[in-house]
């Protein structure tokens, strides 16, 4: 396993267990931590988004970088060096039910050039040169996250955004193949719920395969925006087969418009 991913999974696991111990008591942590799991971005553990972004480097990759507070600007070389501010919890989707709160501040995950960041089982972004993340958790202990990916220039960011959209177009088939490989019914359904000139949004409903996702029935919501040399991916997860207070994806065009406006403001 790539050393960046190991450090990231361990960090999220510890965060998830700490949150669990506070909210449910140590004895309940085993079950609760599984229900808290990310991207998305669902994750193996921790109060983050719908899927753990991971990095693809060499087999004997470098040691994981120190996590630092995000700088005000992206690395030199991009056509748009400003790092967008993270989404305020009050503006995240489904806030009236989820009552999101940030788990810490925006953090920087420095990368060497030409890293590929996997956002979920279906999509990845090639050529990432800097990666910033903000994690959130709901009142129901479900995860959300925003990942801000920086590139050398606008052309590289556009290439990455196209790669992500291509992966999401095939995500239903990809997810169903994962289910078949785990002897599950191939019930995954992926829908593009919004689109504008800056990006797109999707929802995935499925009985998830454990790995990048927490196992079990869930709905993953993904949002993609590109501006200049920056790509923003936000994600959150709802666990369970159905919920009377579940999120209505009819709100996704407004969410996408908000993310696009934030990226240029």
Token pair of 52 as six digits: 């753990």
Positions of E strands within the chain: 54-56, 68-69, 101-102, 107-118, 124-137, 143-150, 189-196, 199-208, 216-227, 230-239
CA dihedral 88, 90, 95, 96 (to 10 degrees): 180
Residue 53's pLDDT band (boundaries 50, 70, 90)? low
Cβ atoms of 80 and 150 within 8 Å: the answer is no
Position with higher pLDDT, 192 vs 42: 192
User: In total, how many domains does the chain have?
Assistant: 1
Domain of residue 158 covers: 3-264
Tell me what pLDDT residue 143 has.
95
Mean pLDDT of all residues belonging to the chain? 77
Express each pLDDT in 167-221 by its tens digit. 999 999 999 999 999 999 999 999 999 999 999 999 999 999 998 899 999 999 9
Express each pLDDT in 229-262 by its tens digit. 999 999 999 999 777 789 999 999 999 999 999 8
Distance CA 206, CA 215 (A): 10
């Amino acid at each position: 396993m790539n050393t960046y991913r190991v450090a990231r999974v361990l960090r999220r696991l510890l965060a998830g267990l700490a949150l669990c111990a506070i909210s449910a008591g140590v004895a309940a942590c085993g079950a609760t931590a599984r229900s808290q799991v990310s991207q998305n971005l669902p994750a193996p553990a921790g109060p983050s988004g719908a899927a753990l972004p991971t990095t693809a480097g060499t087999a004997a990759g470098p040691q994981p970088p120190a996590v630092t507070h995000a700088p005000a600007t992206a690395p030199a070389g991009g056509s748009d060096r400003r790092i967008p501010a993270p989404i305020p919890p009050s503006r995240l989707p489904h806030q009236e039910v989820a009552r999101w709160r940030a788990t810490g501040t925006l953090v920087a995950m420095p990368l060497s050039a030409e890293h590929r960041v996997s956002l979920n089982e279906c999509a990845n972004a090639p050529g990432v040169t800097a990666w910033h993340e903000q994690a959130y958790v709901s009142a129901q202990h479900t995860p959300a996250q925003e990942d801000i990916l920086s590139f050398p220039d606008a052309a590289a960011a556009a290439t990455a955004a196209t790669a992500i959209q291509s992966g999401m177009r095939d995500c239903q088939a990809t997810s169903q193949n994962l289910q078949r490989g785990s002897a599950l019914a191939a019930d995954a359904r992926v829908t593009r719920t919004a689109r504008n000139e800056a990006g797109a949004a999707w929802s995935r409903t499925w009985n998830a395969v454990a790995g990048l996702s927490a196992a079990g029935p869930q709905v993953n919501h993904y949002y993609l925006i590109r501006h200049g040399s920056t790509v923003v991916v936000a994600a959150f997860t709802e666990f369970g087969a159905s919920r009377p207070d579940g999120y209505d994806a009819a709100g996704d065009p407004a969410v996408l418009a908000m993310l696009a406006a934030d990226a240029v403001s």
